[in-house]
Structure 1
Amino acid sequence: MHLSNLLKVNYRFEGPHQVDVIDGGTLAQLLIPLITSYDYVIVIDCVDAGGGKIGEVYFFDFDNVPNVITWQGSAHEVEMLQTLRMTEVNGDLPPVKIVGVIPSIIGSETAFDLSKEVAEASVTMEKIVLNHLQELGVEITRIDSKTIDEIAPLSYKGF
Structure 2
Amino acid sequence: MNTLLLGIGNVLYADEGIGVHFVNYIHENYEFSHPEHQLVMLDGGTLAQGLTPILAQYQALIVVDTVNAAGCAPGEVYFFDFDNAPPEIDWQGSAHEVEMLQTLTMMEMMGDRPHTMVLGVTPTVIEPMTLGLTERIAAAVPLMEKTLINYLTKLGWHCNKIANVDIAELIPQSYIPRLSMGDRESGHKPQGQDPQDIN
Scaled by the length of structure 2, the TM-score of the pair is 0.75
Cross-structure match for 1:105: 125
How far apart are 1:68 and its partner, in Å? 1.3
Gaps of 5+ in 1: none
Are the counterparts in 1 of residues 62 and 118 from structure 2 also a CA contact under 8 Å?
yes
How far apart are 1:29 and its partner, in Å? 0.6
Cross-structure match for 2:183: none
Are the counterparts in 1 of residues 30 and 161 from structure 2 also a CA contact under 8 Å?
yes
Listed as ranges, the matches of 1:1-159 within 5 Å are 1-15=20-34, 16-74=36-94, 76=96, 79-107=99-127, 109-159=128-178
How far apart are 1:75 and its partner, in Å? 5.2
Distance 1:33 1:136 in 2: 25
Aligned pair count reads 158
Judging changes above 3 Å, is the alpha-carbon distance between structure 1 residues 114 and 24 closer, same or farther for their aligned structure 2 residues?
same
- 1:93-129 CA distance string (max 9 Å, x none): 111110110012333x412210101101111111111
Moved runs in structure 1, 4+ residues, more than 3 A?
A: none
Residue 22 of structure 2 aligns with an amino acid whose one-letter code is L
The alignment partner of 1:123 has SS state of helix
Distance 1:127 1:29 in 2: 29
Gaps of 5+ in 2: 1-19, 179-199
Distance 1:25 1:64 in 2: 25
Distance 1:87 1:22 in 2: 19
Q: Percent identity?
A: 47
Distance 1:96 1:77 in 2: 15
Scaled by the length of structure 1, the TM-score of the pair is 0.93
Larger relative contact order (C-alpha < 8 A, sep ≥ 6)? 1
